[in-house]
Structure 1
Amino acid sequence: MSTKVGDLSLIGLSSVQEPLIKQKHTPENYSVLAAIPPFLFPALGTFLFGYEIGATSCATISIKSPTLSGISWYNLSSVDVGIITSGSLYGALIGSIVAFSIADIIGRRKGLITAAFLYLIGAIVTAVAPVFPVLIIGRVVYGIGVGLTMHAAPMYIAETAPSQIRGRMISLKEFSTVFGMVGGYGIGSLWVTVISGWRYMYATVIPIPVIMAIGMCWLPASPRWLLLRTLQGKGDVESFQEEAIKSLRRLRGSVVVDRAAEQVDEILAELSSVGEDKEATICELFQGKCLKALTIAGGLVLFQQLAMTGVAIIVIDKLGRRPLLLGGVSGMELLGAGILFCVFGVICVLSLFFIYFIVPETKGLTLEEIEAKCL
């Protein structure tokens, strides 16, 4: 009897084993200039997330200084400093919960516009906070923007990027977070020796959410989201399809003017074929076909957090996802030979088997084709 990849009946995984490097997929036509803004403006949101991490590390030094804080309540306890540091994370948790509930209602674009306004309000409130509680309120509001961004940005980028560069765009989105951290530490180091420098650290980025909001207002809604609303009976079919065609033409540039309607029909047909005609509930995530996708996504995140680092921006769209994942964990398993790294070696071996037997290749596929493979 032949071995099948992911033959795990308990979790509904039954995809057939695939070659590591897939055959070529028909590429989409697109304009490079048209593909940049749909990545750039959402990526500003992830940059602001990273910036907050770096700036806060420096701000906690400034805010506790009797001579440089510029406030009378500088004598903060370790708990107070911890609340300042984690305030945005509490907000991000709230934002993530809210995003889960409203993401398909307001869409990715409006979600990012809302996040930009929350970033702006949070940064202003934090920068001008007269007392400790107001500072925390500003941090939480900023964090809610982070939660919305972390949900909407990757979805908008994935749904609007051409399939052959989607992996690179999402990888660059992660890079923008790291770049934001570097920027936060850099700006923070410039202000840390200035009186009330912590206020300037947070105020410095105020123009960025304004640019982000303007950019997202200018960008069109995701064609895929528009068609999802059509299938779910949330509006007039013809008007949504027409809007999706206009959106796709803007996102791909003049090279697809003649094929936009055809591509929209293809996306609509593929969405229908993978069962996107109804909204899923939380319980359905842990049942049937959804459980397979949840296992793949959750397993990759788990193993990445336990043992993996690094971003393969340049080669991800050339080699595919599975070869990079397999090569990465194999290399770490071989290099982690010391006793202190035995645990990580075991984790890498487990992740190697998980990726090889369960994770499908998605290089160059449309989102609908990926769904068909994962569900």
Structure 2
Amino acid sequence: MRASTSANVALPRRRGTRASTRIQGVGKSISTPRGVLRAHTRHARRCATARAASTSNEGGNDGELNAAVLRNFLFPALAGALFGWDIGISSGALENITASAASGGDGFALTSIQSGQFVSASLFGALTASAAAGAGVGDRLGSRKELILAATLYLVGSVASSVAPGFEPLVLAKLIYGLGIGFAMHSAPVYIAETAPSSLRGSLISLKEGFIVGGILLGYLASEGVITADGGWRQLSLEATPLIGLLLAGAIWLPDSPRWIASKSGDGKDTRDEAREALVRIREAKSDVEMMKIDEELEDIFMAAVSNNSSAGGSGAMSLFDKKYVRPLYIGLSVVLFQQFTGQPSVLYYATQTFEAAGWSVEDAANVSVILGIWKLFMTGIAVSKVDSLGRRPLLLGGISIITACLFALAALNTPGEVQTTAQAQASVAAIFLYVGAYQLSFGPIAWLLVGEVFPSKVRSAAVGLATLSNFGSNFLVSLFLPTVQETVGLRGTYLGFASVGVLALASIYFTVVETRGKTLEEIEAELMQ
């Protein structure tokens, strides 16, 4: 429990004084920026030691799942579900638009280029918003206000899509919705990471991935319901508006992150009062013991803020590539890039034809997305239940090992110039399911979990923005060049290429990724900034 920390680290609690004076009692005078950083590092180590001892004695619950924790998680996760929804309805809406036009109904006859523009419009919007968020918009707004902006863009994009009089306005509406995706995927992991109790942070950020998968699955199911209806694509655009309205109302209701307040407003009495009020709401603290824990956590937050504000260099994108940030930046960006370049979601590009070769009917093979969606959701649930008990590294290393093995198996099962036998196709189906399951145990939730954890608070918004931009950008590049690569080197060569990246990912993660389970963000920052 955090209460035990106070017995080991005695910190004066004189409100309204400068933090540089307050933390001199940690050991020696720390009037210099280097001294602040050293004191913060020593304090974080003591906190980690005390928490580890408390965990062994008391089961490790430094936070409990209550209504406030669920509220702080639910609305950012809902923003992720609306991202998944857009993925899920895109192919069905495109098919309905063209089918409706062919029958003389409410749709548009699209060329192949226009079809690509329709599908990629939201991705382009997400890339644009990610770049803006990383360049400083997210840092200035804070994750709560950024969620409000994302919800507003979601709402405008959805309504505009449903009433679009032509193809160009429809693409513009999809782009606006994509801007919402970019801001949502930047702010959601930051808000959850900065407000969740340390003992639940991994489970909650991982569960956000489950909401994305759930949104995809709901989009698939909704598309099946209107796929043959004239103008059904307009209905698909509107069906998510109740959830968008809920997200907008919830984001307005949420408190700002105390860590963002501390980083932006200095260490005066008014700032402390504002951050304390937000933290009380976030933790739903009422008893004297809970309020004592609030004060201890607040002291950690402001000590880290003093350390960051006293260090040389600016904040945000301008100082993101300073030498001292290289290690956390590499960890966060590498896992996001490896997530894409090990074949997800490219492996699923060929899943339907593999199911057909295995003896499934064309109709059943077309439903592979729904089947895999359910499987992904189930395996994400397992990851959520284990990430805070087993830890991040074991799940990452174990899952990526299975992913790499499956890719080598798929390469072996696809002989160049030969049609797969039924047995080979059935084995490929098993490998695809195993691949997807291992992905949802590892890269799926944990890549974004680490993105929310490893970046120092001073550059967190800019770094998460860069990670989000890298994710959408690499996804776009893989999707764009995959058909050409497959045509050039064949399906076996494509799988072998992904498998080679898997081997590189294993080595990189083994040597660079630290275990963050059970640590506060301040403790993780102190460890990575040594």
Question: Partners of 1:193 and 1:350 in 2: how far apart?
Answer: 45
Q: 1:146 to 1:334 in 2, by over 3 A?
A: closer
Q: How much does 1:272 deviate?
A: 2.7
User: Cα deviation per residue 1:11-31 (whole Å; 9 max; x = unaligned)?
Assistant: xxxxxxxxxxx9565642445
Which residue in 1 is equivalent to 2:303?
269
1:69-80 correspondence to structure 2 within 5 Å: 70-71=105-106, 74-80=108-114
Q: 1:313 to 1:70 in 2, by over 3 A?
A: same
Instruction: Give the number of aligned pairs.
Output: 349
Q: 1:68 to 1:210 in 2, by over 3 A?
A: farther
1:135-284 correspondence to structure 2 within 5 Å: 135-231=170-266, 237-254=268-285, 256-273=290-307, 279-282=314-317, 284=319
Task: Indicate which of 327, 331, 336 corresponds to 1:292.
Answer: 327
Secondary structure of the residue that 1:371 maps to in structure 2?
A: helix
Q: How much does 1:308 deviate?
A: 7.5
1:99 corresponds to which letter in structure 2?
Answer: A
Question: Partners of 1:335 and 1:189 in 2: how far apart?
Answer: 30
Secondary structure of the residue that 1:170 maps to in structure 2?
A: helix
Question: Partners of 1:248 and 1:303 in 2: how far apart?
Answer: 35
Unaligned runs of 5+ in 1: 1-21
Query: Which structure has the highest helix share of the two?
Result: 2
Query: Given the alignment of the two structures, is residue 129 of structure 1 paired with residue 160 of structure 2, yes or no?
Result: no
Q: How much does 1:358 deviate?
A: 1.1
Which residue in 1 is equivalent to 2:453?
none
Question: Partners of 1:314 and 1:308 in 2: how far apart?
Answer: 25
Which residue in 2 is equivalent to 1:366?
520
CA contact (8 A) 1:271 1:368 kept: no
Question: Partners of 2:180 and 2:156 in 1: how far apart?
Answer: 10
Q: What is the Cα-based RMSD across aligned positions, in Å?
A: 2.3
Q: 1:201 to 1:106 in 2, by over 3 A?
A: same
Question: Partners of 2:164 and 2:343 in 1: how far apart?
Answer: 39
1:83-98 correspondence to structure 2 within 5 Å: 83-98=117-132
Question: Partners of 1:246 and 1:90 in 2: how far apart?
Answer: 38
Q: How much does 1:295 deviate?
A: 0.9
1:61 corresponds to which letter in structure 2?
Answer: E
Which residue in 1 is equivalent to 2:386?
315
1:39 corresponds to which letter in structure 2?
Answer: F
Which residue in 1 is equivalent to 2:359?
none
Identity of aligned residues (%): 38
Of structures 1 and 2, the one with the larger relative CO (CA 8 A, separation 6+) is: 1
Query: Given the alignment of the two structures, is residue 351 of structure 1 paired with residue 505 of structure 2, yes or no?
Result: yes
Unaligned runs of 5+ in 2: 1-50, 345-378, 413-491
Which residue in 2 is equivalent to 1:38?
72
Secondary structure of the residue that 1:36 maps to in structure 2?
A: helix
Secondary structure of the residue that 2:385 maps to in structure 1?
A: coil
1:370 corresponds to which letter in structure 2?
Answer: I
Question: Partners of 1:203 and 1:293 in 2: how far apart?
Answer: 40
Question: Partners of 1:159 and 1:59 in 2: how far apart?
Answer: 37
Secondary structure of the residue that 1:70 maps to in structure 2?
A: coil
Q: How much does 1:221 deviate?
A: 0.5
Question: Partners of 2:231 and 2:120 in 1: how far apart?
Answer: 21
Q: How much does 1:344 deviate?
A: 4.3
User: Cα deviation per residue 1:37-92 (whole Å; 9 max; x = unaligned)?
Assistant: 11111111111111011111111111112366733x62111111111111111111
Q: How much does 1:270 deviate?
A: 2.6
Range that drifts further, 247-256 or 335-344: 335-344
Range that drifts further, 350-359 or 269-278: 269-278
Question: Partners of 2:104 and 2:94 in 1: how far apart?
Answer: 10
Which residue in 2 is equivalent to 1:303?
338
Secondary structure of the residue that 1:84 maps to in structure 2?
A: helix
Question: Partners of 2:138 and 2:516 in 1: how far apart?
Answer: 24
2:256 corresponds to which letter in structure 1?
Answer: A
Question: Partners of 2:404 and 2:131 in 1: how far apart?
Answer: 36
1:247 corresponds to which letter in structure 2?
Answer: A
Q: 1:215 to 1:365 in 2, by over 3 A?
A: same
Question: Partners of 1:343 and 1:149 in 2: how far apart?
Answer: 32
User: Cα deviation per residue 1:206-261 (whole Å; 9 max; x = unaligned)?
Assistant: 11111101111111001111111134xxxx72222111111111111236234322
Larger radius of gyration: 2
Q: TM-score, normalised by structure 2?
A: 0.62
